[in-house]
Structure 1
Amino acid sequence: MSQEENQLPDLTEVRKEIDAIDQQLQQLINQRAQCAQKVAQVKLAQEGESAHFYRPEREAQVLRAIMERNEGPLSNEEIARLFREVMSACLALERPVKVAYLGPEGTFTQQAAIKHFGHSAISVPMAAIDEVFREVEAGSVDYGVVPIENSTEGVISHTLDSFMDSGLQISGEVVLRIHQHLLVGENTRPDKISTIYSHASSLAQCRKWLDAHYPGIERVPMPSNAEAARKVKTEWHSAAIAGDMAAELYQLKRLAENIEDTPDNSTRFLIIGRQKVPASGDDKTSLMVSMRNQPGALHQILEPFNRHNIDMTRIESRPSRSGAWNYVFFIDFSGHVEDSGVQPVLKEIGDQAADMKVLGSYPKGVL
């Protein structure tokens, strides 16, 4: 036996150490769950059935602290994902969070919902974005998850338009790395594909790859890429572009993986709810501003942000429903409405705007 082999730890002893650590972890996780039950008792006693058990700002603070004190070898994101699931399971002991998302099962939106709320949340698929808004407004679910923008294709107009008529608050955000795959069912031979189905945004995200590999094949937009995957499961001579969840859920074969044209293709999703979210210490605010149709209107919006040194992270415009050639601006910026540096900016814009609505202040995405 070599000297190097003599220095290796004994495998049996290492496994005993792992078993002992697992036992400690199990005991500590159950202790945490018992604390969660105590929290539920206090909230129910103080607030009754209207008690809010899920606190976005509190969960963001906990996850940030976990990542800050992480010493490895697991990465910050991996350790935070583990605790995300522990927190999700503990919250479910208090009261499971019910979340609506753009369905059917297997969409990237469901994947974003799970990433944000964990697997212990109850997820409810909806057929359209406006239905997600209606379910949250009606109180049938606690929160909704909707896509807002893709790094390749830009803003999701339907989501912005839904905010015009909604009184809901944005309570969080989650960014999901999007990997697209070409999927087929067991009835389809790769050389016989005549139709490719997917959501219009997914087809656009893979346009160059499709032009290079399937230039003469019909591309058919679907309500979602999960719906496309479900369709091709039993259909002949067709393929779908969808992600990992859809491939596994509908048991489809991957003909090609990661076919998105842009390597860092990502989609940002918003969490919508009925309650305002207190400051977490690292927040973002979203506004909807209607300006009067006059010269310099856009400058009147931008200038206060610059003068007060507030970081604007996004601005989009949509046609206003109040009249031709009027526009509504959707703005994201760093900070919370309760911050002293933000309040003068909001006052100045509000004084000049025809209408201004704060869509929500919420923790910046942690995971």
Structure 2
Amino acid sequence: MRVDGKRVAIVGATGAVGTEMISVLHRRAFPLSGLELFASERSAERKLDTPFGTLTVKPFTLEAAQACDVVLLAVSGDFAKKHARALGEKGAVVIDNSSAFRYDPDVPLVVPEINGRLARGQRLIANPNCTTAVLVMALNPLYAAFGLEKVIVSSYQATSGAGAAAVEELKRETANWLAGREVGHEHFVHPIPFNVIPHIDTFQDNGYTREEMKVVWETRKILDVPNLPVSCTAVRIPTIRAHAEAVTIETAKPVDPAVARQILSEAPGVRLIDDPAANAYPMPLTASGAYDVEVGRIRQNLIFGERGLDFFVCGDQLLKGAALNAVQIAEVAAA
């Protein structure tokens, strides 16, 4: 802790994203003068072993959180709508991980490597959906170099994207399947072991799910291309951590895969893994726990020709898709 540092609060500190936020603050040596952990009444007074020592989780109060310089919200959208703006009234920088404010025109939706400047001087900043955050890390450098006409993405999303209880369901029901016992489901609409489910969040009137439309809405806002044609299919798969995405883009200018590789290899927050001859490409196993988003399988698209590119990305949705991005926003906004 530093005398001249920032006092940071994490609301929802006992959840998967909240605990990652604690770890990221430590790993990035965020300039802390104090760390306050808040959770619901049922989780309050728990002792958490953290890199900063054993800390006590407190029940959330508006007054206690308002006393901090930075408030990281890892809670539901309803909670954020109720408290986020009030938390910033006393001067705190509030970074919300829910979808509550992502589509408000007066609230910046920030990925620091892309539009971090928008966080400066703001009291309320939205963190994007995990699938979108992973996608735009690869899209933005290509957009800057070649322009974008269309984006088509299929996401393959880990069970941890649905929370810790969903991961436990995967483990428990996989064990049941292997033992020949009946396989059930609670957090997913169908059994998840050895299955893929093309259904995440609720279906909308246009036939897409809300998860898929989040990718559309948020990609447009982050890249500042309001009418960019984007189509997404979101699929839940039986992995534990890190989301993968197959992406096809039509570009405004001719795109050379070799040039695209070079651009992506130099992009901050991106790790190029693209050596098919050596069986090297992005995978959840290698992306899990990593800060950088992996990009590979880069090739000319057979439909769009010289103005088309296919590639595969994989990123840790609890890190770049949530906790890491939130802390990076805090580094910019509270500087």
Using structure 2 for the length normalisation, give the TM-score: 0.28
